[in-house]
Structure 1
């Protein structure tokens, strides 16, 4: 029966491959979004831009908050805990 099911499911192999590739890409993106070294570099760049006069205090605070929100926000596609939405 295993041989027969393997043969019948063979046309779906490309679809499974695309799904797997999408999952791998999503994992890599999430790792980069939450990597402490990248977040620190982004925060340092924001501080440097403010020191150079390219950002106002409000823009600086908003940019920092955006980076920190990205760190705290749950990943897309995760299920919230029971009773919380």
Structure 2
């Protein structure tokens, strides 16, 4: 980057920094959301709540379906 372009784009540098931070936060959130180990832990906790009678069988099946869907989508999100 040359001196002129550096001077001209300097006022937007904070905006670029904020955008970069937001992109990093989003990437980490997606990594955690699609993490197979984390999904397995959520499935185990779901099963424990079902066995304890805290949720109905239908609620457990619905939540399990959503978790399995996340597990299947994970590889597509890198």
TM-score, normalised by the number of residues in structure 2: 0.86
C-alpha separation between the residues in 1 aligned to 2:59 and 2:34? 22
Please name the residue that 2:3 is paired with.
Answer: 3
Alignment of 1:30 onto 2:30:
yes
Contact preservation (8 Å) 1:33, 1:71: no
Unaligned runs of 5+ in 1: 76-85
C-alpha separation between the residues in 2 aligned to 1:25 and 1:70? 19
Runs of 4+ aligned structure 1 residues displaced above 4 Å come to none
Please name the residue that 2:63 is paired with.
Answer: 63
* Structure whose residues are more often helix by fraction: 2
TM-score, normalised by the number of residues in structure 1: 0.80
Shift of 1:67: 1.3
C-alpha separation between the residues in 2 aligned to 1:52 and 1:5? 64
Q: How many aligned positions are there?
A: 75
Please name the residue that 1:79 is paired with.
Answer: none
Larger RCO (alpha carbons 8 Å, 6+ apart): 2
